[in-house]
Structure 1
Amino acid sequence: MVAPEHYRPRLLERAWRRALKVKKNCLVRVQYRVTDEEGHEIDASDPDFPLEFVCGRGDVIAGLERSLIGLEPGASKQFTVPPEDAYGVRQESLVKTLPRAGFPAHLELVEGQRFSYRGEKGAELMYKVKEIRPDCILADFNHPLAGQSLRYEVTVLEVTDDYVDGKV
Structure 2
Amino acid sequence: TETRLWNFHIDDYSKLVTGIKAQFSGAIEVTGIPQFVLQVFKNNLTNQANNTDPDLSKIDETLIYKLMPFQREGICYGIKKEGRCMIADDMGLGKTIQALGIAHYYREDWPLLIVTPSSVRYQWSEAIYQFLPSIPAQHIMQYSSGKDYLGSEKITIVSYDLLARNITAFERKGFGSIIF
TM-score w.r.t. length of structure 2: 0.24
Larger Rg: 2
Higher strand share goes to which structure?
1
Q: Which has the higher helix share?
A: 2
Which TM-score applies when normalising by structure 1?
0.25
